[in-house]
Copies of this chain bind each other. A is one copy, B any other.
Amino acid sequence: MDSWQEKTIHTEPIFQGKIISLQVDTIELPDGKTATREIVRHPGAAAVLALHEDRMLVVEQYRKPMEKFQVEIPAGKLDPGEDPIVCAGRELEEETGYRAASLRPISAFYTSPGFADEKLYLYLAEGLEKGAMNLDEDEYLSVEAITLEEALRYIEEGRISDAKTVLAVYAWRLYKLTGEV
């Protein structure tokens, strides 16, 4: 398989933003021809399936790329050098006002491996108690605690429709069925 590796011939930086950057790499294919790859760089993120009295904490916020409100689990970008589990606890408290006694890893995954390097670390948070809510300056959201039945209905209705939250709901269903994270 090593010969299938895509060797970079040239990297063209296109954009450096606040959150993402974009580059176009020219690569050599196994047959010697060249192709281009459009690559978005992202610092990575952490997200939390936070369970409290058999309900999941979610936040509703406006998502500009889709031009609609979405219900999602608490999540946020990693600060430079930040451990994802620290980020998960921080974002949970900032967005919902809850602190977790226990944070356990569920999974970590690349959200869009075809064009982005964003990696998302998903944790299970339990033993929640009230801390202090503290939103980013340009962040507006509302918090809710929903049952599994409500979560499945939100997915059905499209109010929940992002990868990390759908995956968290699946993980929650499996946790309830098997007792395993």
Contact = CB atoms under 8 A, between A and B. Distances in A.
A59 to B, nearest CB: 12
Interface stretch (A50-58, A88-96, A112-120): A112-120
A77 B113 CA distance: 12
Given A27-B64, A140-B30, A22 B19 contact: no
A83 interface: no
Chain A, interface residues (CB within 8 Å), range = 35 or more
Nearest to A171: B170
Nearest to A22: B22
Contact of A113 (B19, B27, B63): B63
A101 interface: no
Given A116-B65, A174-B170, A107 B40 contact: no
A25 B120 CA distance: 24
Interface in A5-52: 5-6, 14-15, 17-20, 22, 24-25, 27, 29-30, 33, 35-42, 45
A80 B68 CA distance: 23
Total copies of the chain: 2
A1 B24 CA distance: 38
Interface string A121-158: 00000000000000000101010000000000001000
B62 A38 contact: no
B111 A112 contact: yes
A2 to B, nearest CB: 9
A35 B64 CA distance: 12
